[in-house]
């Protein structure tokens, strides 16, 4: 058999996917597993979005789509950026892709040369670093410690930028911590970036509308308009509207960059599903009340999970401002032995023993670039969350 490409040597399967596979193995044995490892809303997609897809299919809108997205959806995205972010993008500064992930992949593939650096604040979504590697780049992580609310400090960003830096990644509200940046904190980050005019800035705003307690979302091109001509603003319908399976991401950015990304997408997937685009346009332009309703439910889930996890011996859980994740510190559990005899040397051991002994699937913090933590998704119903957190408490009480 021919050898696989060397570029895959540095790329690992997503830890959340691995944990999902292990959870399914246990489920196949008849074991009830509570899966808190997946970042997927448990709500249904909006009815009006589904109806729009059905209508489009019946009307014959099932042919090859435009490579950059349908005009209907691009107009909806343009209006969304104006409405929610006070950002004006021309239609040729907007593109649609197969989820936010392909947007990021397209951007890296269109811009990174071998050895170019991508500054990635940690903890970070697993795929940022791996996608940079696949594109020939070098991820350079910057620690965002818990004592700063898992937010990026301007001085740390400044220290990380070198003449080789091509991109700086921003993701607030953050996956995996749920941390969000205030306008003042974002201004401090912007001041650093203004001093480095050759650096592109990518902001993954996928959790924009999942933000709590009156905290105000902000995105960097809106906070500092002087950066707009080198910012790629990435978003999608997956988290806000519970449309993960429709695979619709979108972005706004400089025309030349968008043109290069469209070219790259043409070599990979071309355009995306026409019926999915019809559904996304309906979600963006239709009634928005469900967004606030679901946000309030997520807030209640967050409060429940934080309270219960802080009742587990050896666990300290920070209360995040947004997204639907918590990132509890499990330092107090390291070095102990589980009731099942598993030595807990690190957060990977903790996550695996928790799955095997209490049948709760989480993801180890090592996968996100910061230990000793685990990521827990609370995108599931409160009864299930209470059961899961009770099992985690029992697991921690059993450590010795």
pLDDT mean over 65-69: 97
Would you say 383 and 137 are in contact if contact means Cβ atoms under 8 Å apart?
A: no
pLDDT of amino acid 94: 98
Instruction: Tell whether the model's pLDDT for residue 144 goes beyond 80.
Output: yes
Averaged pLDDT of the chain: 96
Instruction: Tell whether the model's pLDDT for residue 137 goes beyond 80.
Output: yes
pLDDT of amino acid 18: 79
Per residue in 285-295, pLDDT (tens digit) is: 999 999 999 99
Would you say 116 and 135 are in contact if contact means Cβ atoms under 8 Å apart?
A: no
Would you say 38 and 376 are in contact if contact means Cβ atoms under 8 Å apart?
A: no
Instruction: Tell whether the model's pLDDT for residue 149 goes beyond 90.
Output: yes
Instruction: Tell whether the model's pLDDT for residue 184 goes beyond 80.
Output: yes
pLDDT of amino acid 28: 86
Confidence of residue 19 (pLDDT cuts 50, 70, 90): confident
Bridge partners for 251 per DSSP: 95, 234
Bridge partners for 118 per DSSP: 139, 167
Report the sign of the C-alpha dihedral through residues 207, 351, 139, 195, in that order: positive
pLDDT of amino acid 364: 95
C-alpha–C-alpha distance, residues 381 and 43, integer Å: 9
Look up the CATH architecture of domain 6-44+290-397. Answer: Alpha-Beta Complex (3.90)
6-44+290-397 and 47-285 in the same fold: no
The CA-CA-CA angle for residues 269, 273, 274, to 5°, reads 135
Residue 134 tokens read as 């696949």
What pTM was estimated for this model as a whole?
Answer: 0.96
Instruction: Tell whether the model's pLDDT for residue 17 goes beyond 80.
Output: no
Would you say 310 and 316 are in contact if contact means Cβ atoms under 8 Å apart?
A: yes
Lowest-pLDDT range, 15-29, 85-99, 327-341, 379-393?
15-29
Bridge partners for 35 per DSSP: 361
| Orientation angle between helical segments 274-285 and 71-85, nearest 10 degrees | 30
Q: What percent of the chain has pLDDT over 70?
A: 100
pLDDT mean over 245-261: 98
DSSP 63: S
Would you say 255 and 362 are in contact if contact means Cβ atoms under 8 Å apart?
A: no
Domain boundaries, the chain: 6-44+290-397, 47-285
H or E element at residue 119: strand 117-122
Instruction: Tell whether the model's pLDDT for residue 266 goes beyond 90.
Output: yes
Is the domain defined by 47-285 classed in CATH 3.40.640.10? yes
Residue 320 CA, distance from chain mean position? 15
């Amino acid at each position: 058999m021919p050898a696989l490409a060397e570029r895959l040597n540095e790329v690992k399967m997503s830890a959340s996917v691995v944990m999902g596979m292990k959870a399914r193995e246990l489920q196949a044995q008849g074991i009830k597993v509570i899966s808190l490892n997946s970042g997927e809303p448990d709500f249904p997609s909006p009815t009006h979005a589904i109806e729009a897809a059905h209508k489009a299919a019946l009307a014959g809108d099932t042919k090859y789509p435009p490579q950059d997205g349908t005009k209907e959806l691009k107009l909806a995205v343009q209006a969304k950026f104006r409405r929610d972010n006070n950002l004006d993008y021309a239609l040729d500064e907007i593109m649609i892709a197969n989820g936010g992930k392909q947007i990021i992949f397209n951007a890296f593939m269109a811009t990174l040369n071998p050895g170019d650096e991508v500054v990635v604040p940690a903890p970070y979504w697993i795929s940022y670093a791996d996608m940079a590697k696949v594109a020939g780049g070098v991820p350079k992580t910057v620690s965002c410690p818990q004592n700063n609310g898992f937010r990026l400090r301007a001085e740390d960003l400044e220290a990380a930028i070198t003449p080789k830096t091509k991109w700086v990644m921003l993701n607030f509200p953050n996956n995996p911590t749920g941390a969000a940046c205030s306008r003042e904190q974002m201004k401090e980050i912007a001041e650093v970036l203004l001093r480095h005019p050759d650096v592109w800035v990518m902001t993954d705003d996928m959790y924009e509308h999942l933000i709590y307690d009156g905290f105000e979302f902000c995105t960097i091109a809106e906070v500092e308009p002087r950066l707009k001509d080198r910012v790629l603003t990435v978003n999608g319908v997956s988290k806000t509207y519970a449309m993960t399976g429709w695979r619709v991401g979108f972005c706004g950015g400089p025309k030349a960059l968008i043109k290069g990304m469209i070219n790259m997408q043409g070599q990979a997937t071309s355009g995306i599903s026409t019926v999915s685009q019809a559904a996304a346009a309906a979600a963006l332009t239709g009634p928005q009340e469900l967004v606030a309703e679901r946000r309030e439910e997520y807030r209640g889930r967050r409060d429940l999970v934080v309270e219960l996890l802080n009742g587990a011996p050896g666990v300290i859980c920070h209360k995040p401002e947004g997204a639907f994740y918590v990132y509890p510190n499990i330092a107090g559990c390291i070095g102990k032995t589980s009731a099942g005899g598993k030595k807990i040397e690190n957060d990977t051991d903790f996550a695996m023993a928790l799955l095997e002994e209490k049948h709760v699937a989480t993801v180890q913090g090592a996968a996100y670039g910061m230990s000793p933590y685990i990521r827990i998704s609370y995108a599931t119903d409160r009864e299930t969350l209470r059961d899961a957190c009770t099992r985690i408490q029992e697991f921690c009480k059993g450590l010795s």
